Structure formats: C-alpha cells, structure tokens
Amino acid sequence: MRGLKGKTAVVTGGAQGLGKAIAQRLSEEGCQVWILDLRQDVEETANGIRQATGYPVYFAQTDIGQENQIEQAFRRVAEVSGSVDILINNAARFIFKGIEATAQEWKEILDVNIVGTSLVTQHCVPLMKKAGGGAIVNLSSVSGFIGQSSFATYNATKFAIRGLTKCWAIDLNEFKIRVNSVCPGYIRTEAFENSCIQLGIDPEEENARISQLHILGRQGTAEEVSGVVAFVASDDASFMTGEDLMVDGGYLAK
C-alpha cells in the first residue's frame, strides 16, 4: 500500500486480537509501530512482531482509562520517535448490559471506549502535527449501526465512535489529518470467547448462530480486518475522511 513504509503508527489495544493483527500488518508494510495496551504480555507481542517483520516495534504498557498513563506513553513516543503519522484507536472494553446497567458499569465502559479514546487522540494530535499530517482509524462495529438485545452499553460506545470520527474529521482537517472508522462484523478474537463467558453461552453454538447473520455465513478473521485498516491509514485512501467502512461479511446488507 502507498505511503506506509517508514511511517510511525500507534495502535491501542494491540497486545491481542484485532489490534495485534493491525500492528502486525502495519509492521509488515514497513511502519515503525507502537503498541499501547494494559496487558502484561504487550512486550511479548511487540517482540514477536519485530522478530517476524524486522521493523521496529515498541510498546508502552498503558491503561487508556487513565489519563496520566496516556500522557506518559506519548512522552515516550515523542522521545523515541519524535512524531506520529498513524493512530489506530482499537482498545475497547466489552461490557454488555441493557437497561439494568449500573452507573458504575456505564462509567467503566465510557471511561475507556469514549473518554480514553478521545484523550489518546488529544495527546497524539500534537505529534501528528509535527509529522505534517496523518491518519486516524477508529474501530467501530456493526454494533455502531443497529440495536442488539442487552448490548446497550457496548453499542452506545460504538455509535459514539462514529460520531467522534465525523466531528474529528472536520476539526482535524486543517492539520491534514484524515479520520475514518472501520466497522467489523463478528470477528473471532479473544473478545468473542470472553463475551460468551460473560453472557453464559456456549462459544460453538454462538458461533453457529452468529455465522448465519453474515451473508458470507461465517465470522471474519482478524487478518480480514487488519488489511482494510492498513488501507484506510495509507495514501491509497487519501480522499477518504469522516467515513465508516464496513468489513462485516454482509451483516448489515441482510
């Protein structure tokens, strides 16, 4: 893809799942990648990708729900890399609650998915200005378009991500920063297995049910999303901003 080689990219939530696949793909394209994740094995993931691709992969163990940790992470990014060209806002909490959601549950999911994502972006923008522009890709979802039973807490945040995308596309255009969202259907990552545990359902039965919701008749893979994210971040998507790109196996088309 055009314009990725030699760029500096920050990926939040890149220790596993979609974020890990995105970090890997951007590294394969020749980016210098920073992974920000609260998981302890973030170092292992970064080392594994670096060994596989031969390009620099750094990490900062960061809880994006904590502003002081975000500040600290971007101070390190600035010291080591100087500027940032690409930001992938991928980290998210998965709290599935309906009308019964407590104030604490709302706070927990909003603190990460909305406030955390916004503060990461706020701290990253000065480094993008230093680079003379850049691209931000926010992970929304089919859950950012539709209602799903007992998913109010999660879906509200994925709708909001699309709102942030459109507002930031307007506000950051003067700095030559494009902002888009990528909206996957169901992708079989660790989050899927964890969600089944949280909802008390069998993963294989749920996989069979969910697969039928997609025209392609299956869940997607992380690699089927990471390529699209890399495209949106690349110069091949230079006329795209404020856009939501579906990668949903036809989920919303049914």
Write out the binding residues for ligand NAD, residues 37-66 only, by CB under 6 A.
37-39, 62-65
SS3 content of the chain, % helix, strand, coil (to 5): 50, 15, 35
Q: With binding defined as CB under 6 A, does residue 249 bind ligand NAD?
A: no
Residue 114 per-residue DSSP state:
I
Look at the alpha carbons of 179, 180, 186, 187 in this order and tell me if their dihedral is positive or negative: negative
Among residues 57 and 191, whose Cβ is nearest to ligand NAD?
191
Q: With binding defined as CB under 6 A, does residue 164 bind ligand NAD?
A: no
The rounded Cα 139 to chain-centroid distance in angstroms is 4
- Residue 18 tokens read as 């979609």
Q: With binding defined as CB under 6 A, does residue 191 bind ligand NAD?
A: yes
Three-state DSSP class for residue 137 = strand
Write out the binding residues for ligand NAD, residues 6-35 only, by CB under 6 A.
12-13, 15-19
Rounded to an integer, what distance in angstroms lies between the CA atom of residue 222 and that of residue 191?
11
Q: With binding defined as CB under 6 A, does residue 160 bind ligand NAD?
A: no
Among residues 47 and 238, whose Cβ is nearest to ligand NAD?
47
Among residues 116 and 134, whose Cβ is nearest to ligand NAD?
116
Burial class (CB in 10 A: 0-12, 13-18, 19+), 76: middle
Q: With binding defined as CB under 6 A, does residue 192 bind ligand NAD?
A: yes
Rounded to an integer, what distance in angstroms lies between the CA atom of residue 59 and that of residue 40?
11
Neighbours of 52 (CB within 10 A): 12
Q: Closest distance between ligand NAD and the C-beta of residue 182, in Å?
A: 8
- Judged by phi (left if over 0) then psi (alpha if -120 to 50, else beta), residue 9 lies in beta
Over the window 203 to 232, marking each residue x when it contacts ligand NAD by CB under 6 A and - when it does not, the resulting string is ------------------------------
Rounded to an integer, what distance in angstroms lies between the CA atom of residue 164 and that of residue 118?
8
Q: Closest distance between ligand NAD and the C-beta of residue 222, in Å?
A: 7
- Any catalytic annotation for residue 154? yes
Query: Which member of 53, 189, 226, 234 binds ligand NAD (CB under 6 A)?
Result: 189
Q: With binding defined as CB under 6 A, does residue 190 bind ligand NAD?
A: yes
Q: Closest distance between ligand NAD and the C-beta of residue 12, in Å?
A: 6
- Judged by phi (left if over 0) then psi (alpha if -120 to 50, else beta), residue 16 lies in beta
Over the window 113 to 152, marking each residue x when it contacts ligand NAD by CB under 6 A and - when it does not, the resulting string is ---x----------------------x-x-----------
What is the set of active-site residues?
154
Residues at the contact surface with ligand NAD, assessed by CB under 6 A: 12-13, 15-19, 37-39, 62-65, 90-93, 112, 116, 139, 141, 184, 186-187, 189-192
